[in-house]
């Protein structure tokens, strides 16, 4: 598997930008809202995993 060149990555971003510009405003806003939920979900998941691991290791270290 080969990695895309800088030009190919730029072309993908340009096509995405053109596609999003062609969409109606509500659709772009809905996609942005979905992206916010995905990022927030990842943050909360990582936070909860960290809390769980911290509790697991701290409870093992207590006498």
Separation between Cα atoms, residue 45 and residue 48, nearest integer Å: 5
34 domain residue, yes or no:
yes
30 domain residue, yes or no:
yes
Over the stretch 16-62, which tens digit does the pLDDT of each residue have?
888 888 888 888 888 889 999 999 999 999 999 999 888 888 876 65
User: Is the model more confident about 61 or about 8?
Assistant: 8
**pTM strictly above 0.95:** no
DSSP 23: S
Separation between Cα atoms, residue 53 and residue 59, nearest integer Å: 10
Domain count of the fold of the chain: 1
32 domain residue, yes or no:
yes
28 domain residue, yes or no:
yes
5 domain residue, yes or no:
no
Backbone angles phi, psi at 11, to 5 degrees: -65, -40
For residue 38, what are the domain limits? 24-63
């Amino acid at each position: 598997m080969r990695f895309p060149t800088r030009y190919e990555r730029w072309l993908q971003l340009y096509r995405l930008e053109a596609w999003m510009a062609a969409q109606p405003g509500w659709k772009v806003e809905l996609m942005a809202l979905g992206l916010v939920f995905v990022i927030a979900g990842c943050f909360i998941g990582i936070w909860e995993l960290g809390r769980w691991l911290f509790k697991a290791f701290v409870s093992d270290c207590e006498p």
